[in-house]
Amino acid sequence: MRKVVIMLCYVVTILAIAHILQNFQGIKNTTAPSSHKSNSIGFNYVINEEHLCEDKHGVGVVLLVVVFLGANDIYEREFIRNTWGAIAKSHPKIRLFFILGSTFESSNTTQALQSESLQFHDIIQCDFEDQYKKLVNKSFAAFRWTVHYCDRVKYVLKIDSDMRIDLSSLLTVLEKPDIPDKLLCGDTVYRAPLVNRNKKHRFYVSKEEYPQLRYPDFCQGAAYIIPRRIVGRFASSRIPENLFPLDDNYFTGILRKELNEELHKGFLSYRHHHDKTETRLKNGRYIMNVTSRGHEIKKLRKIALKKTIVQGKQM
């Protein structure tokens, strides 16, 4: 009888220790990532802006703009800050940041980026290499940053760096009461397109990366809007084992379908009629003034290049 009692005490002790360890592990796994600390998917935020979304005016942040760029794209960032992105510095309901990977080519680039960050406070940099194949990683980093540091935002706008958008008009639209709680595409939704198997093509995807013949419907990636609820679902999802190279196809198509979320072809984009900037409802869809401004960035690069040649400096 004594042996049975001792054995029961031993088992109870082991179970109690296991329970304590499990609770400790749960607390550890829910800790928010911060600068220079790893998060649950194995990357670090090398440069972070933890207070970017602080609500200093008590009105609430409605729109968070995420621009995907490379660490070396300084002229693109300069252009956006001085044009359509400038409103984010002064408008209490809008925030903007550039999500970057890292470059390991030059310590000068790292130092310049840190100086730029200290000046503008709009850069979030991760420690994985900045390359085309890591766009899905970069999206996960942006979504998980949003959940931890901008949790009360209502919408996230993912936009390409060579586009230009009227953020003030867009905010007016997003504050209307009848906006559907769906992933809001621009004027192009790709309907079950074939997967590109041409190894020489930019959008090539192998059968190992995605075995299906066709993609689910997905948004054209120039600009689309994600409600905070869906951002949270994206952020808590797992990264695919065979890391998928096309972020728009993955998040607005493959993962969206897995999560049983819907697309809404909600916005018309004016790419040529630049005078039409008003926000209004047309044929059941709102107008989002998105125009391509790649040529302006190229012009800015040429001007900067001429200056460096004149000054005898290298890029």
Predicted local distance difference test score (pLDDT) of residue 50: 95
* Torsion sign across C-alpha atoms 201, 205, 211, 214: negative
Q: pLDDT tens digits for the chain (315 residues)?
A: 554 444 544 444 444 444 444 443 332 332 333 333 434 456 789 999 999 999 988 899 999 999 999 888 999 999 999 999 999 999 999 999 999 998 876 778 888 999 999 999 999 999 888 888 888 999 999 999 999 999 999 999 999 888 888 899 889 889 988 888 999 987 788 999 999 999 999 899 999 889 999 999 999 888 899 999 999 999 999 877 666 789 999 999 999 999 999 998 766 655 444 444 333 334 444 545 555 555 555 555 444 443 333 333 333
The two three-digit tokens of residue 309, written as one number:
């040649």
Question: What residues contact 5, with CB distance under 8 A and at least 6 apart?
Answer: none
Task: Tell me the domain boundaries of the chain.
Answer: 1-30, 35-311
CA dist list (Å): 43 to 102, 125, 129, 137: 11, 10, 10, 9
Residue 308: its H or E element? helix 294-311
- Give the separation between CA 69 and CA 162, rounded to whole angstroms: 10
- Three-state DSSP class for 124? strand
How many Å separate Cα 16 from the centre of its chain?
42
Predicted local distance difference test score (pLDDT) of residue 33: 36
3-state helix, strand, coil in the chain (%, to 5): 40, 20, 40
Structure letter (DSSP) for residue 194: B
Predicted local distance difference test score (pLDDT) of residue 36: 37
| Multiple choice CATH, 35-311, 3.90.180, 3.90.550, 3.40.50, 3.30.160 | 3.90.550
Predicted local distance difference test score (pLDDT) of residue 43: 77
